[in-house]
Amino acid sequence: MSIRPILETRHATPTMEGAGVKLHRAFGFQDPTELDPFLLFDDFRNEHPRDFEQGFPWHPHRGIETITYVLSGTVDHSDSLGNQGSLGAGDVQWMTAGSGILHQEMPHGNTAGQMHGFQLWGNLPSALKMTAPRYQDVQGTEIPEITDDDGTHVKVITGEFWGKRGPVDGIAADPQYLDITVPAGVKKSFKIDTYRRAFAYVFEGTAAFADASRPSGVLLEKEVMGEEVNIRDMSGDRTLIRFGTGDEVTVQAGENGVRFLLISGAPIEEPVAWHGPIVMNTRAELKQAVADLNNGTFIKPVH
């Protein structure tokens, strides 16, 4: 087993999207090779309806998949193909935009007015950029959950883990998407195939992640470097940890435990031409997408 080195730890930054939804972005619109095949990750968590109730009105997507995971509240959605529905707490929507779709997402708070969820964008390879759009709406009750002897709890949204397979079927990048809770003080390792790019996103509690650059991958809350004390790896709320190559991620939960997403996928390693919610391989393809939007041919006929 080889522990994956920590390439970077960063905090999600506040931003605004849609019609004025306040959210935190862990990555996106930066170097698309960093976490290939993933392009963007947003944490939309708000305590006040005024910060999210205007939602995400009609907007286009082409060339990507969007994965929405709701923890609290609901998200109503509809699209230009006539699909509509509502995602509740624990539900997942995996939307393959493919050749093009227009849709809208309108969040609503729970009984306390709170909303929390995540959206991840996954790239599509050139051979699938113009595939037919499709939805996979999965209820939380369909997602397998595993509890280990030490209390570690894992929800397998997609991919295979600990003998369970998630119900969501990503059409590209062989994705694995796990929601993991590790109890206070427990040290736990999670195997990830070496060929995958991987990141963790902490959203409850704190944890120290092992780093392959240390002897035997030791986990330290503080490291003394000369006279300087360097706080490392005690990752808390809204922290992204980007890993290098290896086949194992090891974490030790803090005094209140930790809950985090562990997401990985096979890199596509193709050129990326990106304009907002449209991601193609070349500038010419981007220009064609904009032309299609302007002349009304963005949505391809469904046969």
Mapping DSSP to helix (H, G, I), strand (E, B) and coil, where does residue 290 land? helix
The pTM assigned to this predicted structure is 0.91
- Yes or no: say if 39 and 26 are a contact pair by the CB < 8 Å rule: no
| pLDDT class of 301 with cuts at 50, 70, 90 | low
Mapping DSSP to helix (H, G, I), strand (E, B) and coil, where does residue 91 land? coil
* Contacting residues for 29 by C-beta, under 8 A, at least 6 apart: 40, 274
The reported pLDDT for the residue numbered 185 is: 93
Which of 110-114, 193-197, 224-228 has the lowest average pLDDT? 224-228
Q: What is the mean pLDDT of residues 115-129?
A: 95
pLDDT digits (tens, 9 = 90+) for 134-150: 888 899 999 999 999 99
Mapping DSSP to helix (H, G, I), strand (E, B) and coil, where does residue 148 land? coil
The residue type of 295 is N
Q: Tell me the chain's radius of gyration from C-alpha atoms.
A: 20
Listed by start position, the domains of the chain span: 6-265
The residue type of 167 is P
- Class of CATH domain 6-265: mainly beta
